[in-house]
């Protein structure tokens, strides 16, 4: 690893994901990418966050264990323990770390350690080098993954440059402790605190765009903040899957140190329960779409 200031891995998982916690912890330790590994679980959260999450779970805000509010909260808490210039690499617990791809990891560190950089975000564009030109990438535009109310809150509802540009991915990023990054985290948390309806799966009072698929919660807020700050980004497809011959492929990111495998090892019961929830959400979206079409036809 390059000789830079402290680099800390930060992740969180609920207790039913112990197998995934152990896997990521082992991968991180074997990689030697990090000076410190901090993987939180339901039992070792800061008391103020634990209280907040307990309340959210009690009012059925269970998706993402409180709609991922813990993400900016934990980063800010860990910043309190770090010096200015230290770096946190946040990773979703389902990500994989590939120790053999240290050169690319060092490229990320070189970027985040430049004087004018305080965050290295990934965005769903395809501006990176890959060898097979037959590979294609899914469109993940902002208006498809951010509800109308949240776009309006930021003043971006009618901003074509914002809504037709790719969304930023909040499953992995590097963030350096600076005054700018602390302010960014405060802005992120402020949306949770002001109006939780902007984050969760409640219906948007302002009409969503016709391309809308699903609100991406904390990621939608993170993405709009990245666009507000006009942040330079790496491609999220360095870490995520693409298409080859109409099938998902990882061929294009064989040199990447981090892969968004979404490898969540739940118990058998939890896996069954999660499948039912996904089916329900899919049917709900289909029903809403059919209802809107019927209303248009009636008019």
Query: What local confidence, expressed as pLDDT, does residue 134 receive?
Result: 95
pLDDT tens figures, 8-25: 999 999 999 999 999 999
Has residue 274 got a pLDDT over 80? Answer: no
How far is 169 from 153, CA to CA, in rounded Å?
Answer: 20
- What is the arithmetic mean of pLDDT over 109-129? 97
Contacts of 55 (CB under 8 A, 6+ apart): none
Has residue 1 got a pLDDT over 50? Answer: no
40-44, 69-73, 82-86, 284-288: segment of lowest average pLDDT: 284-288
61-65, 175-179, 279-283: segment of lowest average pLDDT: 279-283
Query: What local confidence, expressed as pLDDT, does residue 293 receive?
Result: 56
Has residue 291 got a pLDDT over 80? Answer: no
How far is 275 from 76, CA to CA, in rounded Å?
Answer: 33
Phi, psi (deg, nearest 5) at residue 36: -150, 145
CATH of domain 7-265: 3.90.550.10
- The number of CA neighbours under 13 Å toward the Cβ of 234 is 25
Percent of the chain scoring above 70 in pLDDT: 90
- What are the boundaries of each domain within the chain? 7-265
The radius of gyration of the chain from alpha carbons, rounded to an integer in Å, stands at 19
Has residue 121 got a pLDDT over 70? Answer: yes
- Which of these, 78, 93, 170, lies nearest to 124 by C-alpha position? 170
Structure-derived torsion over alpha carbons of residues 161, 167, 173, 177, reported in degrees to the nearest 10:
40
- The number of CA neighbours under 13 Å toward the Cβ of 136 is 6
Q: Two tokens at 168?
A: 């930023």
pLDDT tens figures, 128-171: 999 899 999 999 999 999 999 999 999 999 999 999 999 999 99
Query: What local confidence, expressed as pLDDT, does residue 272 receive?
Result: 62
- What is the arithmetic mean of pLDDT over 205-221? 98
Distances (CA, A) of 210 to 203, 252, 254, 267: 14, 31, 35, 37
């Amino acid at each position: 690893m390059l000789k830079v200031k402290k680099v800390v891995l930060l992740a969180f998982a609920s207790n039913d994901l112990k197998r995934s916690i152990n896997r990521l912890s082992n991968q991180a330790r074997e990689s030697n990418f990090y000076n410190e590994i901090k993987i939180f679980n339901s039992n070792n959260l800061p008391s103020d966050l634990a209280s907040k999450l307990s309340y959210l779970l009690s009012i059925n805000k269970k998706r993402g264990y409180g709609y991922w509010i813990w993400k900016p909260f934990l980063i800010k808490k860990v910043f309190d323990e770090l010096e200015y210039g230290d770096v946190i690499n946040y990773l979703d617990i389902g990500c994989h770390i590939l120790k053999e791809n240290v050169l690319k990891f060092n490229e990320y560190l070189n970027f985040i350690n430049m004087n004018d950089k305080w965050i290295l975000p990934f965005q769903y564009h395809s501006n990176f080098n890959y060898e097979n030109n037959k590979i294609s990438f899914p469109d993940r535009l902002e208006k498809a993954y951010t509800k109308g109310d949240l776009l309006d809150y930021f003043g971006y509802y009618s901003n074509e440059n914002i809504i037709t540009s790719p969304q930023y991915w909040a499953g992995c990023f590097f963030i350096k402790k600076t005054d700018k990054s602390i302010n960014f985290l405060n802005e992120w948390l402020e949306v949770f605190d002001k109006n939780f309806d902007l984050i969760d799966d409640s219906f948007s009072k302002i009409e969503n765009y016709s391309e809308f698929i699903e609100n991406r919660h904390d990621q939608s807020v993170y993405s709009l903040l990245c666009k507000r700050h006009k942040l330079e980004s790496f491609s999220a497809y360095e870490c995520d899957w693409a298409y080859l011959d109409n099938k998902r492929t990882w061929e294009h990111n064989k040199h990447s140190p981090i892969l968004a495998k979404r490898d969540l090892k739940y118990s058998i019961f939890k896996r069954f329960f999660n499948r039912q929830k996904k089916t329900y959400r899919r049917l709900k979206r289909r029903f809403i779409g059919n209802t809107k079409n019927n209303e248009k036809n009636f008019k």
